[in-house]
Amino acid sequence: MSKKRILFICQYFYPEVFRGNDIAFHWAQQGHDVHVIAGIPNYPEGKFFKGYGILKKRKEVLNGVRVTHLPIVPRGKGKITLMLNYFSYYIVAWVYVLFHSLFHKYDFVFCQQLSPVMMSVPAILYKKIRRVPLYTWVLDLWPESLSAAGGINNKHILSFFKNFVGKEYKYSDKILTSSKSFDTSILEYGDYSDKIVYFPQWSDGETQQMTDTTFQLPNIPSGFVVMFAGAVGEAHGMECNMQAALITREHKDIKWVIVGDGRKLDWVRQFVKEHSLEETVFTMGRYPSETMPMFFNKADVLLVSLTDSPLFNMYAPAKISSYMAAARPIVACLNGEGAEVVNTAGCGWTVPAGDANGLANLVIELSQMEKSELDKIGQTGKVFYDEHFDKPKCLHRLDEIVGLTPQVGA
């Protein structure tokens, strides 16, 4: 396979932790010339990462990947700064790509489309100017995300963003989806069934190798540890989780441990304080993704949860595959595709989204189960992961989709 020049467009890139990092590094390792156009890293804290800024480290080479960090407004903590963050990347990236396309030719464009959907517009612009294939990996559905997570239901605003979505699907040569349930929403914009390809996410724990040999885990409380790891946002059902923790408060051996950060973490900490749950609920803060397997090993069960909504019922959260890879049993408080994956894999137990009583009762029951039985369920998940979500297998499949390896039986 000859060397290809690849333009990779996504607002987020390393040191921000997303699966697109693996893709870009994988292609560079294969000898391809990869150029990433991202924003200045600030997710999820809402402020620029140390060492980065408007005048600092705007260009760098990471594992053979050329990265351009465009000047954007950091996310901050409020909705106004978040919108400014979204639109600043959209505008600056559009202008950058417009001029960049005049002097640089790539073989294809790959867009990792998270939130916001506008990050795909610069990718579409390059495709139209240079007439090259565009492959879009859809990980967030818009404008549904605005309604479900942002509480925005104004029909004019939603119509505005639907225009971006329609163009994204129209101009993409292939639409890769992280959840099979996304197909229904995508097909509402046109008959794109020949474009849609299911492409799942793999374990976050495989993203990087642990290089800091001096790292020491913080103190994890002893007892039956129910661990939630990852983004702590509006979509992640934290109200239900905390209500369940409130119900189990008299079971002092049950410890709820939250490892991560996000816009809902302050609310969680306030809830713990108001209800005097300091002995059973612990917020550890955010740690590097490469340390997550070490945390997971300290958990008896790993918790994944989502708010009950038609949109979130279509998601299979990425942390499910990360939990499976760690060979730990999963407690899933969600509906739809996420619950279906857990049930199909036989790697844990599910309760309906928002069912705090059901979640609490399940955790109490599991806390009395033999550890060997829990370990057996975890190992079942690891076998399923190796077969369906293994990173090398996923990346090889992506190579086939974008034409970097010969198609085999496709």
Helix (H, G, I), strand (E, B) or coil at 88: helix
Q: pLDDT at position 97, please?
A: 98
Is the bond preceding 44 in cis, omega lying within 30 degrees of 0?
yes
Give the C-alpha distances (Å, rounded to integers) separating 23 from 65, 83, 306.
10, 27, 27
Domain hosting residue 50, numbered range: 5-202+390-402
Same domain, 96 and 122: yes
Query: Same domain, yes or no, for 371 and 234?
Result: yes
Within-domain flag for 33: yes
Q: Residue 209 domain-assigned?
A: no
pLDDT of residue 155: 87
Same domain as 285, residue 315: yes
198-213 average pLDDT score: 67
Instruction: Look at the alpha carbons of 335, 338, 343, 344 in this order and tell me if their dihedral is positive or negative.
Output: positive
Residues 364, 394, single domain; the answer is no
The CATH number covering residue 91 comes to 3.40.50.2000
- 3-state SS, residue 70: strand
Report pLDDT digits (tens) over 109-155.
999 999 999 999 999 999 999 999 999 999 999 988 877 666 677 88
Residue 195 in any domain: the answer is yes
Residue 211 to residues 107, 208, 214, 289, Cα–Cα distance (Å): 34, 9, 9, 12
Same domain, 40 and 178: yes
What is the tens place of the pLDDT at every residue in 154-200?
888 889 999 999 999 999 999 999 999 999 999 999 999 999 999 99
Report pLDDT for 316. Answer: 87
* 259 and 345 share one domain: yes
What's the number of domains the chain is made of?
A: 2
- Considering the domain architecture, whether residues 263 and 315 belong to the same structural domain is answered as yes
* CB 106, CB 126: distance < 8 Å: yes
The overall pTM is greater than 0.85: no
Do 114 and 97 fall within a single domain?
yes
| Beta-carbon contacts of residue 141 (< 8 Å; ≥ 6 apart) | 182, 185, 311, 314
Question: pLDDT value at position 288?
Answer: 86
Verify that 353 and 397 share a domain, yes or no.
Answer: no
